[in-house]
Amino acid sequence: MDANGRRQLVPLEKSRRKATEVAHAARRSLTGRAAKIVAYLKKTYPKPKSELKYRTPFQFVVAVILSAQCTDKAVNRLTDFLFKKYRTAADFARANPERFEKEISSIPFFRNKSKNIIAAAKRTVSDFGGRVPRSPVELQTLPGVGYKTAHVILGELYDSWEGIPTDTHVKRFAHRFCLSRQTDLKKISKDLESLVLKKDWKYVNNGLVLYGRYICPARHHDCKDHPLTKLWPEAGSRWPKFK
pLDDT tens figures, 128-174 = 999 999 999 999 999 999 999 999 999 999 999 999 999 999 999 99
Of 4-8, 36-40, 43-47, 61-65, which gets the smallest average pLDDT?
A: 4-8
Q: Do 230 and 181 belong together in one domain?
A: yes
Work out the pLDDT band at 177, boundaries 50, 70, 90.
very high
- Considering 118, 136, 158, which residue would you say is the last residue of a domain? 158
Is residue 105 in some structural domain? yes
- Do 169 and 153 lie in one domain? The reply is no
Provide the greatest CA pair distance for the chain. Answer: 88
* Same domain flag for 99 and 141: yes
pLDDT of 240: 42
Mean pLDDT in residue range 104-113? 97
State which of 158, 185, 203 marks the end of a domain.
158
- Cα angle vertex 241, ends 236, 243, to 5°? 65
2 domain-assigned: no
Asked if pLDDT for residue 231 goes beyond 80, the answer is: yes
Which helix (H) or strand (E) segment holds residue 11: the answer is helix 11-44
CA nearest neighbour of 29 among 204, 169, 178: 178
- pLDDT given at position 111: 98
Give pLDDT tens digits for 181-229.
999 999 999 999 999 999 999 999 999 999 999 999 988 888 889 999 9
Give the CATH number, domain containing residue 64: 1.10.340.30
Q: How many domains does the chain have?
A: 2
Assess whether 129 and 174 both reside in one domain.
Answer: no
Indicate if 185 and 223 belong to the same structural domain. yes
Rg of the chain on CA atoms, in Å: 22
The pLDDT-based confidence of 19 (bands split at 50, 70, 90) is: low
Does residue 21 lie within any of the structural domains?
no
Integer Cα distance of 68 and 85 in angstroms: 22
What's residue 29's pLDDT? 81
The domain in which residue 179 lies consists of: 28-44+164-242
pTM: 0.85
Residue 185 lies in a domain: yes
15, part of any domain = no
Burial of 144 by CB count in 10 Å (0-12 exposed, 13-18 middle, 19+ buried)? buried
Note whether residue 32 is domain-resident.
yes
In a domain, 128, yes or no: yes
What is the predicted pLDDT for the residue at 241?
A: 45
Rounded (5°) CA angle 194-196-200: 135
In this structure, the answer to whether residues 139 and 227 fall within a common structural domain is no
Same domain, yes or no, for 82 and 151?
yes
Same domain for 32 and 120, yes or no, is no
Q: Which of 142, 158, 174 is the last residue of a domain?
A: 158
Torsion, Cα 174 175 177 178, to 10 degrees, reads 100
Are residues 144 and 172 both part of a single domain? Answer: no
Residues 140 and 214 in one domain: no
Q: State whether 73 and 98 are in the same domain.
A: yes
- Distance of CA 72 to CAs 4, 42, 80, 155, 198, Å? 70, 22, 12, 17, 27
CATH number of the domain to which 203 belongs: 1.10.1670.10
Shared domain for 101 and 175, answered yes or no, is: no
Q: How many CB atoms lie within 10 A of CB 192?
A: 25
Specify if 52 maps to a domain: no
